[in-house]
Amino acid sequence: MARRARSAAKPNRPVALVTGAANGIGRAISLHLLDAGWCVMAFDLPKTRLVQQFRGWARSAATIEGDVADEDTVDEAVRLTLDRFGRLDAVVANAGIMIRRPIRRLSLEDWRRVLDINLTSTFLLARAAQRALRSSKGSIVTIGSARALMSEPNTESYSASKGGLLALTHALAISLGPDIRVNCVSPGWIATADYNKLKRKDHAQHPAGRVGKPQDVAKIVAFLLDREKSGFVTGANFAVDGGMTRKMIYVE
């Protein structure tokens, strides 16, 4: 079950529930929204230092620890968000894992775990949050991957989950519209560790001239959550990959 970790006053500001919020892209999205005046319910697994990440945002942020692939936990997370903040304007389905190994060694348990976290959790979130989001004329943003469009070896479960997420996004956009807009952001190489350790060739291979940063994803997510700026956008996929999915590569 979800566990409430921090409190926050009920705001007049918009409220987002962000999964996988303790690190990387999810943390960047959460902090960007907080800086932009949102309140954020950050959702991640226990033992991810989630509470510490948002300790300085006591008035605007709260945290929930639990498994995003568990049906009861997701329902409780939405309930706790509404209990704490009194409203819900956005869901950012960012939580995801990768198990990368040859298919001959990929167990059914591993396959199911990746799909549960990366794909099924988004269905659970959309179902649990749709009533509140209809009331607020809110938005859902799913965080996919360039691997929904192209693959590397030994990524079957991850690629399948992200491909399914892309299809789920446009299905939800049709089913939940016009009250709720649903879009997907598909990152490419986003460096979540020490950016300065990247090599020149890492940047040079990108048509944009550099490897991506978590903030690159956070900015477009914030745009898609803003009905004034993106109210005519739904069911769409945005590749934030420095142009790599459009780059034709030949081996000489």
Residues with a catalytic annotation lie at 158
Q: Under a CB-based contact definition with an 8 Å cutoff, are residues 235 and 224 in contact?
A: no
Strand order in the sheet with 3-4: 3-4, 61-65, 39-44, 15-19, 90-93, 139-143, 181-187, 237-240
Query: What are 3's strand-pairing partners?
Result: 65
Half-sphere exposure of 45 (CA within 13 A, CB side): 10
Q: Under a CB-based contact definition with an 8 Å cutoff, are residues 225 and 137 in contact?
A: no
SS3 194: coil
What is the β-pairing status of strands 181-187 and 39-44?
A: unpaired
- Give the distance from CA 207 to its chain's centroid: 24
Q: How far apart are CA 25 and CA 189, in angstroms?
A: 11
Q: How far apart are CA 240 and CA 41, in angstroms?
A: 24
DSSP-derived letter for residue 149 is T
- What's phi and psi for 194, nearest 5 deg? -75, 105
